[in-house]
Amino acid sequence: MTSTPTPPGLARFNALEEHAAFAALREACASTTWARRLLAARPYATAEDLYAAGDAAMADLTTADLGEAMAGHPPIGRPRPGDPASAREQSGMAGAPDALKAEMLELNLAYQEKFGHVFLICATGRTGEQMRDAVRERIGNAPEQEREIVRTELGKINRIRLARLVAED
């Protein structure tokens, strides 16, 4: 049986020097623990292997690790200047009416007051209204329930970012 060659983007990631690969992983997810786990498992034969490792590492993150990961995400509607990933991911808020942006700011603040961290959602492909509706719905959650929802949303974001990391040129 002939083995399938590693896709070029993944081969490039596998070949990065350790510090460069670690930095690239930290751009995908701000959790040091998550990045170290993925770094330690290199090389990856397939992108699916990389995604599975990311999912497994996400499932094992402690509350503190999740906090570190969330700290790498700006509030919805306010992507960090010079951060193309968050601007791209939050593009559904870019053209939102000012009233929706103001409402989202208020909801973000209320959410942060309740849970102690930014509202986190995989915003890719979502409209401003969908994100607003999600924060409205989730603000009523218990902290333990919300922490697991955040873990799931972070996993989705990480998969998108890992896919971009290993995409072919």
Residues 6+ apart with CB under 8 A from 91: none
Residue 164, Ramachandran bin (φ over 0: left; ψ between -120 and 50: alpha; else beta)? alpha
Q: What would the pLDDT profile of 121-142 be if each residue is shown by its tens digit?
A: 998 889 989 999 999 999 999 9
Task: Give backbone dihedrals phi and psi of 96, rounded to 5 degrees, phi first.
Answer: -65, 150
Query: Domains of the chain (ranges plus CATH)?
Result: 8-165 (1.10.3330.10)
Which of the four pLDDT bands, split at 50, 70 and 90, describes residue 154? Answer: very high
Mean pLDDT of 73-101: 77
Which of the four pLDDT bands, split at 50, 70 and 90, describes residue 106? Answer: very high
How far is CA 169 from each of CA 10, 11, 162, rounded to the nearest angstrom? 11, 12, 14
Q: Tokens for 89, please give them.
A: 């991911």
Q: What would the pLDDT profile of 60-77 be if each residue is shown by its tens digit?
A: 999 999 999 998 887 777
- The distance in angstroms from the start CA to the end CA of the chain is 28
pTM of the model: 0.89
H or E stretch covering 39: helix 32-40
**pLDDT value, residue 169:** 59
DSSP string, 86-135: HHHHTHHHHT--HHHHHHHHHHHHHHHHHHSS------TT--HHHHHHHH
